[in-house]
Each structure stands twice: as C-alpha cells, then as structure tokens.
Amino acid sequence: MLEFLICSMLTILPDFLFRRYVQGKKIGQDINLYSMWFELRWGITACVILTLSLITLIFYYHPATKNVTAVFRTVTILPESTGRVAEVFVGTNEKVAAGAPLFRLDNTEQQAALETARRRVAEIDAEKAVAQTELAAADGMIAQAQGAYQQALDELNTQVELNRRNPDVVARREIERRQVAVDGRKGALAAAVSNKQTLQTKIASLLPAQKASAEAALAQAQVELDKTIVRAGTAGMLQQFALRPGDIVNPMIRSAGILVPDDRRIGLIAGFGQIEAQVMKPGMIAEATCVGKPFTIIPMVVTEVQNVIATGQIRPTDQLADVEQMSRPGTLTTFLEPLFDGQFTGIPPGSSCIANAYTSNHDELHSPDISTPRWLFLHMVDAVGLVHAMILRLQALLLPVQTLVLTGH
C-alpha cells in the first residue's frame, strides 16, 4: 500500500493535474467514478507498473522475512550408559552450577569392579613382598650350591692328584664319578644363579608392569564408577527434569531432561527466500522487531549466511529418495547478531520476530570507474531501502494489535 501511494504521486497525480488544468476536465463531471478508469488510464497503468517494479526492487535488494526466531542453546542431560536411577540430587526448574551432581545411577557393578581392581593391586604388592623373600632365599641357595660345588671340585682334584702319583691307588671309575659330581654341582650353582636373576627381573620389571596395569584397571574402574554420577556440564536452569529413583535412563531412547545454559543466547536465525541468495551477504545491516518486545526496532548485522538449503539434504537409507518429498522450497538460513551490546535485553529466548536486511552500495558508489547509469541505479536501490524501513516500523506498531486483537492470541 505504501509503495502504491508513493507511485501514485508520480503517475496518477500528474495525469489528473494534466486533465484538470490543461484539458479543463472537472471531478464529478468529466472525471467521475465511472470515467476515471478511462480518463486516468495512463496514470493508473503507469502506477501499477511502477508499483510492481518498486515492490520487486525493494523486496529483492532489501529482503524481509517473518521466519525469524531468537534461538538459544540447550544441553540434553544424558548418562553415558543405560542404568536405573538410584538417587536424584536436584529438582525441576532448579538453577545448577557447572559440575554440580544431578542424579546417580545404580553403581553396584562398578563398585564391585573397583574393589576387584583394588584387590589386584594389593595382590601384586604381596607378590612383590614374597619375591623379595624368595630373593633372599635364592642368595642362600647360591651360597649352598657354591659350597657343594667347591667341595666336589676339591674331592675331584684330590683324586686326580693321587692318581697322578700312583695310578693303582685310585680307580679310574672313581675319578669319573667325582667329575660327574662336580658337573652336577656346577649345574646346580648355575641354576641357583639363574633363579636369582629371574627373581630380580620379576621384581624390577614384571611386577612393576603388572602393578601399572592393575593401577590402570583401577583408574578405569574408578572412571566407570564416576560416570554413574551425572553432572551438569555448564551452569544453567533445569527444564523438564522429572527423574525419580527407580526410573530407567537410556541415552538412545530416553533423556533425563534439558539444561538451558546461562550463556544460551545465540542470536536471531532468519529464513529468507531462496531468490535472495545472491543478495544476502555477511556484513549486511539488518533490523528486527520481536513479539516479545513490541514497539522496538533492533539494529542487527548479518554474521553468517548458510551456503546450503536444508530441504535439499539427503542421507543414505534403505529407501530411494523421491524428489517430490523435497518439493517444498526451503529458506536461506541467515544468522543475525545485535549491532550494539544490550540490544537483546528483555527479549525472551525463542521469541518470534520480523527482520529486514538492507543492501548497501556505498563502496561501489564511490568507485571512480562506475558508470552514470549504474550510479543512478545503485542510488535508487539504496534510496528505496527507506521504504522498507518505514514498512518495518509500521509492522512494529501494528504487531501488538494483530497479536492481541485480530488473531486473539
């Protein structure tokens, strides 16, 4: 309507003035309700064409949308495993700090695993004490084997010396028996030394490695036990938290509730028409008015434009995708942030809004290489943005009336 009024001032009004003061035709006589369609045909036709062109120009270069929401972040409260709730520490709509315990799952199995791991560590410590005792015994066995070996060696040497002096005194068979005894004692000594080295290796390498593995298993069991206590990942307010002891919580099927963080504010997400894909750019100035804060225009800036349209996404399934199911045109998702700090104060998260984005050609207009027709066109594009800004302010004024009176909400 505003565009039509502006265009009529440039088309219908000059046509009427020409008919009235140049041709001398008067309203009510020559120009009436029935003849005006013929008398003012040039002005009316030009007005319709100019109005449609102006509306197209405005909505293309200065896009608007009602698909705007003040989005906020939520955190789903989920345990890492399925379990039965044993204890609940908080209630619904309660404010919690980061790391605060929310509820505890039944941890009988985890406690048993932790105790088993703890006993395994104690068992390895006991094995180390036993190995130290065996090492002391191994020293005694080595000393005993050395004594027996030395005694057998001395007896062999004595028999060999006697045989050297008088071959008839000692039989050859006796010397061989003594040699076998020496070899046996020497093997026993080597076995005792090897047994000591085995015990030393066990104490120095094997038992520490086993203890490290047991301590790692103990730490893992402690982690699994700690996972049974679900804590708040961030500070915020609990919503839809209705758990009670005895409930089953499954991370794949049923969540425990929702945590709305204190730093939940993200900004405005707007869905503009696909036809504005070539116009919408990060850095564009925008304005918005929200139902949650009427009569207020919030200056915004476009921070990001999603380079894909959600309705075209596809993923592999057991059925072929039919394009007809994607026929509904999607919107160009755009992220808006307040231009100044504190602009979102008083706007409830999730509030519905209306937003305009404005194309700015300031840099190109000041380019020395720009042509005159291009300069005039860009000036016109920037100028008609004022019309859209006026429309948004009219919408901000009428929004409470439409919400409270016309729709009855």
Find residue 356's DSSP bridge partners: 64, 287
Query: How many CB atoms neighbour CB 380 within 10 A?
Result: 12
Find residue 142's DSSP bridge partners: none
CATH fold group of domain 75-105+229-260: OB fold (Dihydrolipoamide Acetyltransferase, E2P) (2.40.50)
What residues contact residue 240 under an 8 Å CB cut-off, 6+ apart?
A: 92, 257, 258
Nearest-angstrom CA–CA distance, 275 and 273: 5
- Domain ranges in the chain are 1-45, 62-72+264-312+327-406, 75-105+229-260, 108-225
Secondary structure letter of residue 27 according to DSSP: B
Nearest-angstrom CA–CA distance, 51 and 65: 20
Could you say which architecture CATH assigns to the domain 62-72+264-312+327-406?
Beta Barrel (2.40)
**Axis-axis angle for helices 172-201, 108-165 (nearest 10):** 160
Class of domain 108-225 (CATH, top level): mainly alpha
List Cα–Cα distances, 394 to 229, 291, 339, 389, in angstroms.
54, 14, 21, 9
What pLDDT score was predicted for residue 275?
87
Amino acid at 265: R
Cα angle: 276, vertex 278, 279; to 5 degrees: 65
Nearest-angstrom CA–CA distance, 207 and 209: 5
What pLDDT score was predicted for residue 78?
84
What pLDDT score was predicted for residue 3?
61
Per-residue pLDDT of the chain (409 residues; tens, 9 = 90+): 666 677 677 777 777 777 777 777 777 676 767 777 667 777 778 888 877 887 888 888 889 899 998 888 888 888 888 888 888 888 878 888 888 898 988 888 888 988 998 998 898 888 888 878 877 777 777 777 777 777 777 766 776 666 666 666 666 666 677 777 777 777 877 777 777 787 778 778 888 888 888 889 999 989 888 888 888 888 888 888 888 888 888 877 777 888 888 876 667 899 998 888 888 889 899 999 988 888 889 999 999 998 888 888 887 777 777 777 777 788 889 999 888 888 888 888 888 899 999 988 888 888 888 888 888 888 888 888 888 888 888 888 888 887 777 665 5
What pLDDT score was predicted for residue 310?
82
Same fold, 75-105+229-260 and 108-225: no
What residues contact residue 285 under an 8 Å CB cut-off, 6+ apart?
A: 299, 300, 301, 302, 339, 357, 358, 360
Are 311 and 243 in contact by the 8 Å Cβ rule? The answer is no
